[in-house]
Copies of this chain bind each other. A is one copy, B any other.
């Protein structure tokens, strides 16, 4: 069996989709969780100065969504036609746009700018975007695309807790129960559950 390592921080977020896909595929892997203060030393040794990073027999890969697409294909979680793959990619990219907007607002260093951006998201963007996302999941039998489990759901399930925190919407789960339900669907898959149960517990 290939020697596989996942390197990321000690959070779920962008690394968790990769970890859960490997668990789903029955692939043993070393789950390396880097402390923030050792990151500057590791950074120049990664492909693009970013984490997560996947290593397969010494070969390094970066970019979490690219990695999850690759693993999904490997473990039978991709589309069955090119059109299905397009729909999976399209729906996940829509979700990822929401994530990026939300994270960007939270990373503003100026508190006033941050507050204004979060307010703008809450007022003018979240209602439309989350309602669209909710509709998407409902139309797909509780999944993100093509009416069944795909690798995109692993990405969603990995980052959902971090996204929810960054929205600062305490009622997100209650308002759109389809979101946490999809996260739980993925995290309850037998081999994935086994991994999640034994992994370090983190808030995001």
How many residues does chain A have at the interface if contact means C-beta atoms less than 8 Å apart? 30
Q: Of B66, B90, B113, which one neighbours A113 at CB under 8 angstroms?
A: B113
Q: Are A66 and B49 in contact (CB-based, < 8 A)?
A: no
Q: Quick check: B63 and A89 within 8 Å, CB to CB?
A: yes
Contact yes or no, B49 A61, CB < 8 A: no
Cβ of A147 within 8 Å of any chain B Cβ, yes or no, is no
Bound together, the chains give a CA A65 to CA B69 distance in angstroms of: 14
The CA-CA distance from A61 to B88 in the complex, in Å, is 11
Tell whether A67 is near chain B: CB-to-CB under 8 Å: yes
State whether the Cβ of A48 lies closer than 8 Å to any Cβ in chain B.
yes
Report which of B66, B74, B82 forms a contact with A90, defined as CB distance below 8 A.
B66
CA gap between A83 and B73 in the complex, in Å: 11
Copies in the complex: 2
The answer to whether B86 and A82 have CB atoms under 8 Å apart is no
> Which residue of B62, B74, B110, B128 contacts A94 across the interface (Cβ within 8 Å)?
B62
From residue 66 to 90 of chain A, which have CB atoms closer than 8 A to chain B?
A: 66-67, 69-70, 73-74, 82-83, 85-87, 89-90
B104 and A47 contact, CB distance less than 8 A? no
Q: Which residue of B lies closest to A88 (CB)?
A: B66
Beta-carbon contact of A93 and B66 below 8 Å: yes
* Interchain CB contact under 8 A, B82 and A62: no
Q: Among B69, B93, B104, B113, which residue has its beta carbon within 8 angstroms of that of A86? A: B69
Instruction: Indicate whether A33 reaches chain B with its CB closer than 8 angstroms.
Output: no
Q: Which of A83-134 contact B (CB under 8 A)?
A: 83, 85-87, 89-90, 93-94, 97, 100, 104, 110, 113, 128, 132
Other-chain residue from B73, B83, B94 in contact with A82 (beta carbon distance below 8 A)? B73
Contacts of A86 in B (CB 8 A): 61, 66-67, 69-70
